[in-house]
Structures are given as structure tokens and as C-alpha cells.
Amino acid sequence: MWQSTRMPWSARPSPPERAGGPLALSAVVLMALCARPGYCSGIAVNGVTNKIFVPVPGDVLDIIDGVTNTDSPVEGVLGGSSVAINPVTNRIYVSNGPYSGIISPLQVTVVDGASRTVAAIVSGAAGPIAVNPVTNRIYVSSPSSVTVIDGTSNASTALAVASGGPIAVNPATNKVYVSTGFFSAVAGPPTVTVIDGATGAATALTGIAGPIAVNEVTNKVYVANTGHNEVIALDGATNATTAIPLVSNPYSIALNPVTNRIYVASFEGDNVTVIDGATNATTVIPAGSSPQDVEVNPVTNTTYVLDTGNVTVIDGATNATSTAAAGDNPAAMAVNLVTGRVYVKDDASVDVTVIDGASGPPAAPTARLTNISVRAQVGTGGNVLIPGFVISGSGTETLLIRGAGPALAQFGVPGPLAKPVLSLFDGSGAMVASNAGWGTGPDPLQLSATAAQVGAFAFSPGGADCALLASLPAGSYTVRISGMGGTTGVALAEVYEVSSTGTRLANISSRALVGAGANVVIPGFVISGNGTKELLVRADGPSLAQYGIAGVLAHPSLGLFDGAGVMIAADTGWAAAGIDLISGFDAELGAFPLVPGSDDSAQVVDLPPGNYTMQVSGAGGSTGVALAEVYEVP
């Protein structure tokens, strides 16, 4: 069964009403404003900060803490029919609707997510919103133009193009796609306009209009052509269009970039059509009563379809469905890709239903490693930072690999490595790729877009930090982080899973010089999916000597912490954790055996999805070379 929690606002005093009756006014505005043809009051999730943003009546933006489910209001946020976020800058943009100007001014309110205050008011713009986190530009589909907001200065300009309806951005190509609205008398003939984000040049494609979904991986754009039984597939490079027939009129659309599947909900047909992005073949799945919204979690390969009172949950691997209750009058839905939780806003009660995605449809657990990192002191020679990882399965794994040095200064890390050099090697020791300044790569915009997609913090333009994208087959790989010209300092190595086809990260390791104080070695990893994942974690020191490694850490101490910083496991000698248990896992997982009686550290843990860090230090402040390892237990 799916677990859900209702979160009422009734405990907080009601905000003062505006003249004319705010509830009746909101009903009119919301019907006109949604990015989909039905009513929708807007809800957005920032997976990086685990905060949920919900506009509620009375000029309030409510911010929900995804950990505690507690909420706090930001007053003075007018309207709330469309809300979007920039996860890089932690700014929230709330529109009050393009057809509310008769009663209240057209405006977009900019809210600072860190201070929870109104940062700016952008006048003259209102409508569906899309954000490009790479260029820090915000696009508002106003009634007769697209308003472009500079995310740094909040200055705005208007592009005279057909608009007023759904809008979407492809950060990888810096193109914006905007549709006319759904009321022809107001919006004019159906049109989708393609805007070049760099130049503002626009290309109008007539005869199509409706909700839009963008696949950054394939550079394909899909338009649910409202009023017609079809979806239009648009080639992002050429603007060529292909019509994909449906059995009923499309109403909303979303896609899974990992599986290349497109999901189209039909309000009239009570179904969802699944489109294979490679072949355009379609499969129709019954989906409740009058489905009005569809959202996808590509991490768990799960699709959520909102109807008049429930959420239909579709397993992307099997197309099997289950149902979760979603309130009396659900109007908007959003998914947190990090926690797997689904948030549904109810317009009748102004409640939010929280559906725990981890309790998902009855299926095998999908928990897996999706991100690894390690922070350590980078020395010279054998004391450079050397993370490693193993990809299991068959197919390819697309990874974002980064070496951060200068960017660490913003987080107060002392002595960051000024000019890191990143190199990637395969199991035979051959160099696969390298980088010495992320802006010098073949496509810095794609690197920025991918970093925002996976929740990585942004690098400064032109900075000396390193990054590269690599699509790798199954096998063993190592990353080498060194300092240009033999320089030293603290660096952070990161590996993020972008997409996979039958592969997964099965083992991670990090060899580095363990110092004292702030220079201990701090590996981290992220478990995504549902269920739990059993892991073998080790901190190897003395056992490294058998491989000729000099200056090993004699007495490594291992600590494992959850995302809140709470220690959940520790070890200072693997014998205490059970010699037979650890030795058995070593043999099963292919880990090299620890020397009997050594002071190496190891633990076997069973962890739910979340963020975790290890801390490898030397007993009594001792220093030396150590190897931190994490193995998936099948």
C-alpha cells in the first residue's frame, strides 16, 4: 500500500481576506493560469534543499520542510497560479496569473529560499514559468509576450511572441518553447514558438499548442496538441515535427529521460498513453477518473497520474498500476526526485497530501548507489587523490565526474586546491578522459545543465574546477585528482549517475592521504530508489602494505553518518565487527582480504535511501595513506 500524509494549514490563523472574496477570485484565476488546460494552483519542489513551495490563498507562499513536514509562511506573495524554482540560486518565482490584471496587478514575486523573504517584485509579467538554471534566466508566458527575467538583477525584458500557455526550457541547448493558451479568443491561433535563449530570435510553429515536455538527452520536444488526438514530436535541432496519433485528446504530458518514455494523460479518455521515444510506438494504460496531471520520477522509474481524487502509480518497467488517495479536490502535483516523495495540493481544503514513494507499488526494492564523492588533502606523487568505482551489469552508464578545488572556498573549506587536474582511467590503466578547467571542455553549457539536473552545486564560470561527462561500459575505473604543477590542497572528487541502461554503480573506493583535523578523508555516497541497500564499508590502512604502498595509516578509524550528521556506525578494528562475517563478504564481493589481526576497520550496514558520509581518520591524530571502500551487497 502507498502511504500518504495530509498536511493542513488550519492550525495557522487565516490570512486577511481581500475585498471581493479571495476564494472566488482564486478559483477564476487558477482556471486561467495553469500550464495545463485544467485548474491548477501550483506546487514546486527543490530536491537540493528538500523544500516544497505551495502558494495558498491570502498572498502567502508556504514552505514545507521535506524532513519534518513542518511549514512556514512567506507573506506578501501575490497570487500563486504558477510557481517555479532555480535550484542553483535557491530562488522561487511565483506568478499571480495573466488574466488577473483587472483585479490585481500582473506580477511575479521573487522569493529568496535561504532567508524566506520576498527578494523582488517583477511587474507586468504573469503566467506559466520556466527556469534555465544554467543561464539564470526565468521565462514567463505572459498573455501577449514572453517576459525574460535576469535572475541576478531581476531586470526584465519582453519578447513579442505568441504566448499565454505552457512554457518549457532545454538548458542543454538554451532554447525556450512556449505555447499559446487554451482559449482561442484570447490566445489567437494555436502556436508553439521556439526562442533562442542567447539571441532572442523566435521561430513560430503554427497549428499546434498545448503542454510541453523536453528531453534534454535526445533533444526532442513533445507537445500534447490540445484539441487533437495526437502528440507532436519536435526535433530540437531542425524544428521538424512528427505527429504521434493517440486514441483520445491529450491533456498533460511528462517524460522519463532515462528510459526515453513519454507519458500523456487524457482527461476525457481516463487513460495514459506511453510513447516509446525511440520508435513512437504507443501503449494505453487506464488511469483513474479524468486524469489531469502527470509527473515522472526517473530515479525510481515511476510515473504518477493525478485524477479527481487519487494518484495512479505506474511502474515504468512493467506498466503495472496501483492507487494512492490524494484528497478531495487535488489540483497540482510535484515529485522530489531525491527523497521519492510526491506532494499533491488540494484546492478545496488547501491541504497537501504527501505520498511516500519509498512504499511504492509492490515490486522488488530499487535502492542503489547513484552518487559518490570524497574530500581529502591532495599531495604529490603517491599522495594524490585516487577515487575508484565499479560499474556492474551490461550497457552503459553516463556519469558526471568532477574535481572541485577553488569552488570549495565558498563553503569555508580551508586551503582548497587552486588548480586541480582530473583524469579518468579504465581498468587497464588507459586514460579515458581528462580535464583541467571545466570551461575548456567541449560543452560547458551541457556540464552546467547536467550539474543542475543531478543536484550538484554550481561551478563559477571560467573557474579552475574540473568536470567531464563520460558514457562508460561496465568495468572498473579510477579517477585521479592532482594539482597542476605539483601544487597541493584540499579537493573534492565527485561522480554522479546521469543515466544508465542496465548498469549500476556497485563499488566505490577512495585512496588518499589521511591527515589530522580538517584533513581527514571524507567520502560520501547517495542511495536512491526504494527499500534498503546492504553495504560493506571499509577503511583500509595496514592491509595496504601487502601491495607495496608506503606510509599506510596504522590505525584507521571509521565513522558512518547519515544526512543529518548523526553517526549510525563506527569501527576501529574489523575483528570487533565479526571476522567470519567480514571475511565472508570480502570473498563474495571480490574485495581483497584484510590481514587477520590488523587494525583495518569494516562494518556491514543496511541503509534506506538518503545521503551518507564516511569519515576516515587516524587513531590519536595519526596520519598516513588509507583506502575507504563501499561495496553493494547483491
Measure the CA–CA gap between 106 and 79, rounded to whole angstroms.
9
On the question of pLDDT at 602 being above 90, the answer is no
pLDDT of residue 53: 92
Q: What are the grid coordinates assigned to 473, written together?
A: 561500459
Q: pLDDT tens-digit profile of 170-195?
A: 988 999 999 997 543 345 689 999 99
Confidence of residue 415 (pLDDT cuts 50, 70, 90): very high
Q: What is the pLDDT of residue 575?
A: 67
pLDDT at 352: 85
- Three-class SS state of 251: coil
Instruction: Say if domain 368-632 classifies as CATH 3.30.930.10.
Output: no
What is the reported pLDDT for 151?
A: 94
pLDDT for 2 beyond 90? no
Q: Which among 221, 194, 191 has a CA at the least distance from the CA of 206?
A: 191
Please say if the pLDDT value at position 258 is more than 60: yes
CA separation for the pair 538, 622 (Å, rounded): 18
Closest to 195 measured CA to CA, from 224, 174, 166, 214: 174
Q: What is the pLDDT of residue 243?
A: 96
Q: Where do the CATH 2.60.120.380 domains begin and end in the chain?
A: 368-632
- pLDDT for position 578: 62
CA–CA separation, 20 vs 121, rounded Å? 24
Cβ-based burial of 547 (10 A; exposed 0-12, middle 13-18, buried ≥19): exposed
Round to whole Å and give the CA distance between 202 and 394: 42
Residue range 431-478, pLDDT digits in tens: 999 999 998 877 888 898 888 888 888 999 889 999 999 999 999 999
Which residues, 6 or more positions from 197, have their beta carbon under 8 angstroms from its beta carbon? 132, 135, 137, 169, 174, 175, 176
Q: Which CATH number applies to 3-359: 2.130.10.10, 2.40.110.10, 2.40.160.20, 3.40.190.170? A: 2.130.10.10
Helix (H, G, I), strand (E, B) or coil at 334: strand
Give the pLDDT confidence of 338-365 residue by residue, as tens digits. 888 899 887 766 678 888 875 444 344 5
The boundaries of every CATH 2.130.10.10 domain in the chain are 3-359
Of 159, 154, 183, 156, the C-alpha closest to 33 is 183
Residue 352 bridge partners (DSSP):
7, 345
Assigned C-alpha cell, 376: 581529502
537 has a pLDDT exceeding 70 = yes
User: Which residues make Cβ contacts (< 8 Å) with residue 409, sequence separation at least 6?
Assistant: 416
Q: What does the alpha-carbon distance between residue 456 and residue 466 come to, in Å, rounded to a whole number?
A: 13
